[in-house]
């Protein structure tokens, strides 16, 4: 086995040395070999399997003439021997390259070995640390998003790329990769078996939207900010690199006008249009109107999440329990129940619900949308069209925009309305010195400024 592996790598070593003698190797190729050598030495210490990262098992199998059965039987041992052989091959190549830098006429003097250079964290190791720290606080949706977006960095740069070797120019090239990669390339027949660069070269395929591109770039920025703060990277990258989106008056989510919220309120409470078939739809939509909470946050509420403290009723928005999750850590919060909801009988409706159950029992769960699908589809596809209010930018989520807009117009401070709707508060003072946040009484006073 060892002789088989030695012969394979000896043949390719001869090709390397021949190229060195003829034209030399560029500095970037030598640097890449040194980085690969460091990776193999680390793997040897930890007995790690580098899998197919630097090795080409298929080429070795073809050269050695191994059958599938022979490869399967001996694969672990062969991979280990290939890793050691590749390590020693690289040492021989680097030694040959150094010998070409000058001419020796005497025996070389004995010199003390140079101290090894400290190596920065590898990209894959830094990403693993980043996800280990933040993952427990993220929703499953956010974890999936981070996995997919950060995997692109690993695919492009390689898992063992040293963080201190990734430059601003590399970041700019990474941005172009995200702009150029085909949509759903891992599942489309045209691209699923291609490398990243091969997939980018395929013409005529749809490319990511600006929103998707900016989502990737923002994840990269957040990762590098964290990596720089934790000593994994020398500088922050991807700051200010988002793609500017052309502004159009009819694009994006927008707030409802007072006339529109009045029409929604009248329909939800009076139901003259007969569009509201279930109490779950009525109270789910009214909670969105009076709190600005996210669709998923409302739909996954338990009866026990409607609580009282100091005479103030509030929604305990949390990710505790089966199939419950939050978008961000800031989404965990307490939101007072608006007096308008109390006058309409919301607390009486809650009191009649079975204890220990979900608040909206008719809403079914799915992994992508949580419990929000039923309410969202009814609101967006039945209620709004039925009221002749279906237009670009108006959906259930627009209730959230409406709350933020109305509270800001009523003079509520930005940190206070950010806390009510579950946005992360900005700035050192808010994030470090005011961790406790606003009181229920403060939030209630602010929320009462919202008028339908």
Please report, for the chain, the start and end positions of each structural domain, with discontinuous segments joined by +. 2-99, 123-229, 258-447
Mean pLDDT lowest among 59-68, 288-297, 386-395:
59-68
Q: Are 296 and 371 in contact (CB under 8 A)?
A: yes
Residue 423: which pLDDT band, with cuts at 50, 70 and 90?
Answer: confident
Q: What percent of the chain has pLDDT over 90?
A: 54
How many helices (H) and strands (E) in the chain? 20, 3
Q: What is the rounded distance in angstroms from the CA atom of residue 239 to the CA atom of residue 215?
A: 13
Mean pLDDT lowest among 203-207, 313-317, 417-421:
203-207
Mean pLDDT lowest among 21-35, 112-126, 321-335, 423-437:
423-437
H or E element in which residue 421 lies? helix 414-421
pLDDT attached to residue 91: 83
> Following DSSP, what letter does each residue of 1-63 receive, concatenated?
-HHHHHHHHHHHHHHHHHHHHHT---HHHHHHHHHHHHHHHHHHHHT---TTSS--HHHHHHH
pLDDT attached to residue 249: 43
Residue 84 predicted with pLDDT over 90? no
Mean pLDDT lowest among 33-47, 325-339, 358-372, 432-446:
33-47
pLDDT attached to residue 153: 95
Residue 72: which pLDDT band, with cuts at 50, 70 and 90?
Answer: confident
Name the CA dihedral angle for 89, 91, 92, 95, rounded to a multiple of 10 degrees: 160
Question: Is 258-447 assigned to CATH 1.10.287.610?
Answer: no
Helices 68-99 and 57-64: crossing angle, nearest 10°? 110
pLDDT attached to residue 90: 81
Residue 44: which pLDDT band, with cuts at 50, 70 and 90?
Answer: low
Q: What percent of the chain has pLDDT over 70?
A: 82
Strand order across the 312-317 sheet: 306-309, 312-317, 333-336
pLDDT attached to residue 41: 67
Instruction: Provide the terminal-to-terminal Cα distance of the chain, rounded to the nearest Å.
Output: 79
Distance of CA 25 to the CA centre of its chain: 38
Q: What is the mean pLDDT of residues 24-37?
A: 72
């Amino acid at each position: 086995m060892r002789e088989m592996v030695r012969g394979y790598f000896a043949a390719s070593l001869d090709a390397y040395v021949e190229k060195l003698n003829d034209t030399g190797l560029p500095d970037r190729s030598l640097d890449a070999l040194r980085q690969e050598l460091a990776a193999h030495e680390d793997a040897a210490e930890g007995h790690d399997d580098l899998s197919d990262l630097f090795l080409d098992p298929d080429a070795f199998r073809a050269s050695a003439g191994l059958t599938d059965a022979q490869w399967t039987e001996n694969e672990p041992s062969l991979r280990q021997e290939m890793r050691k052989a590749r390590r020693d091959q690289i040492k021989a190549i680097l030694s040959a390259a150094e010998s070409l830098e000058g001419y020796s006429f005497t025996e070389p003097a004995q010199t003390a070995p140079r101290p090894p250079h400290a190596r920065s964290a590898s990209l894959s190791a830094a990403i693993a640390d980043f996800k280990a720290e933040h993952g427990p606080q993220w929703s499953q949706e956010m974890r999936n998003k981070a996995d997919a977006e950060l995997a692109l960095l690993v695919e492009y740069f390689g898992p063992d790329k040293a963080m201190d070797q990734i430059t601003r120019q590399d970041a700019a090239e990474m941005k172009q990769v995200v702009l150029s990669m085909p949509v759903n390339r891992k599942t489309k027949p045209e691209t699923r078996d291609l490398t990243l660069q091969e997939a980018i070269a395929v013409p005529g395929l749809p490319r990511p939207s600006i929103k998707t591109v900016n989502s990737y770039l923002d994840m990269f920025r957040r990762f590098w900010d964290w990596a720089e703060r934790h000593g994994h990277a020398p500088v922050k990258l991807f700051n200010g690199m988002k793609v500017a989106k052309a502004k159009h008056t009819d694009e994006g989510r927008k707030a409802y006008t007072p006339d529109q919220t009045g029409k929604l309120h009248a329909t939800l409470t009076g139901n003259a249009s007969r569009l509201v078939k279930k109490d779950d739809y009525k109270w789910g939509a009214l909670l969105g109107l009076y709190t600005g909470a996210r669709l998923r946050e409302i739909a996954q509420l338990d009866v026990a999440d409607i609580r009282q403290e100091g005479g103030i009723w509030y929604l305990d928005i949390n990710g505790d329990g089966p199939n419950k999750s939050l978008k961000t850590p800031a989404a965990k919060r307490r939101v007072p129940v608006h007096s308008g909801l109390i006058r309409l009988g919301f607390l009486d409706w809650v009191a009649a619900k079975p204890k220990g159950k979900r608040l909206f029992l008719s809403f079914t769960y799915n992994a992508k949308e949580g419990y929000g699908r039923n309410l969202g589809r009814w609101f967006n596809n039945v209620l709004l069209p039925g009221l002749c209010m279906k237009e670009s930018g108006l959906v259930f989520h627009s209730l959230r925009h409406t709350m933020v807009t109305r509270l800001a117009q009523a003079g509520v401070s930005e940190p206070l309305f950010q806390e009510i709707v579950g946005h992360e508060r900005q700035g050192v003072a808010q994030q470090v010195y005011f961790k406790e946040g606003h009181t229920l009484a403060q939030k209630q006073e602010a929320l009462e400024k919202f008028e339908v």
